[in-house]
Amino acid sequence: MTMVVDVSGGVPDHLIRPHVLLFRQQHVPAIDLEFAGYPPESSGAKSKNHIGPHRCRDGKARALTGCARLSESKEANIVSNPETGTTGVVGLGNMGLGMARTLLRDGFSVIGFDVSMECQAKAAASGVTIVAGLSELFEACPTIILSLPTANHVRKVLGGDEGLGGRDIDPRLVIDTTTSEPDVTRELDAVLRMQGHILIDAPVSGGPAGANSGNLTMMVGGGDADVARAMPVLNSLGGKITHVGPVGAGHAVKIVNNMLVASHLLTMSEAVRLGNAAGVTTENLIAALNAGSGRSAISEVNYPKWVMNGAFDSGFTMGLMRKDVRLAMALAKDKKVAMPVSELAGQIWAASEELLSDNADFNRITECDPTHAGAKS
């Protein structure tokens, strides 16, 4: 099968040549909810000694301007915080269920809701109390975590007459881990804040392994006091937590992160083909790159774990990554930022829809084989 990528959108021909991509059609089981990119550095015991890019060498917490302060003792933080207790999780797919399990293990009571009966059953088997609808969850939970596929799902849960914003209840703390849209997040924050509710965005990276181990990387947007209030829950879920700015900033950073992942997968696949053509095996090439300055999470994790062995079972789908790339392109357009290289990457990801289903593993984009140059007119 061939796929022609249309690169007629104003990018100079001498900088980019259109690709015809050859894929082997493959499918992997669908997942219900999204997560980002790649797993944590280790699936073992989680480390709580990171605050954003800073490491606390003596293991003590440090209060750093602009960064979330991690507690010296997670257990002490949980016990001392009055809101520790019942936490709601909306969305019990791969990520939501993993986070619910971690919260249960750390002493939280967890109430969950998902539209999927299968997801409900899995969560119930893990000890999550399942409710019939969002109304019950909103009433019972002072803290609510969202793990949903898109901003539209978040809007339905939080906005409108049927959402949190349409109910007359005490103020709630909402932690949105969805890879969502910054403008939508800020819009919902303005509505909820008028009713006393707090919304922070805390999208995650680390996959189901990170969710289940409590070792997620979290990019947090919100006011200092609001983020501090959320720290008991964030500390339970995250191994690396960075407070990147006000509400919406976390979602902006996550979009940038996933655009880089999407681009790195494409450039890494080209690098492998070039090395192979020059007579270097993929194994030797990856080993050398990972010892040098060209390494990345794609070379260190994705290729060994999911690509080179043919597993392609990361749990993150083509559909979700295509959605995230679209978000990045829309954000760049809105902010009037020229990104010709990322634009080409976005076109390749968009065109891949012709050959790879939304449920296929996102690492299959590395099977692109550009063997022909030509563009749609």
């939080």: which residue's tokens?
Answer: 158
Question: What residues are paired with 361 via a beta bridge?
Answer: 317
């083509």: which residue's tokens?
Answer: 318
The pair of three-digit structure tokens given for residue 20, joined into one six-digit string: 């015809």
The pair of three-digit structure tokens given for residue 136, joined into one six-digit string: 């019950």
Could you give phi then psi for residue 298, rounded to 5 degrees? Answer: -65, -45
Query: Taking Cα atoms as reference points, which of 261, 229, 214 lies closest to residue 102?
Result: 214
Q: What whole-number distance in Å separates Cα of residue 205 and Cα of residue 129?
A: 26
**Catalytic annotation, pick one of 254, 305, 333, 336:** 254
Q: Is 171 exposed, middle or buried (0-12, 13-18, 19+ CB in 10 A)?
A: exposed
Q: Is the dihedral of CA 103, 104, 107, 113 positive or negative?
A: positive
Could you give phi then psi for residue 158, rounded to 5 degrees? Answer: -100, -30
Q: What whole-number distance in Å separates Cα of residue 290 and Cα of residue 341?
A: 23
At residue 61, what is the residue type? A
Q: Is 225 exposed, middle or buried (0-12, 13-18, 19+ CB in 10 A)?
A: exposed
Q: What whole-number distance in Å separates Cα of residue 336 and Cα of residue 160?
A: 31
Q: Are 176 and 182 in contact (CB under 8 A)?
A: no
Query: Taking Cα atoms as reference points, which of 203, 199, 196 lies closest to residue 187?
Result: 199
Q: Is 74 a catalytic residue?
A: no
Q: What secondary structure letter does DSSP report for 4?
A: B
Query: Which 3 state secondary structure label does DSSP give 201?
Result: strand
Q: What whole-number distance in Å separates Cα of residue 12 and Cα of residue 23?
A: 26
Indicate which residues carry an active-site annotation.
Answer: 254
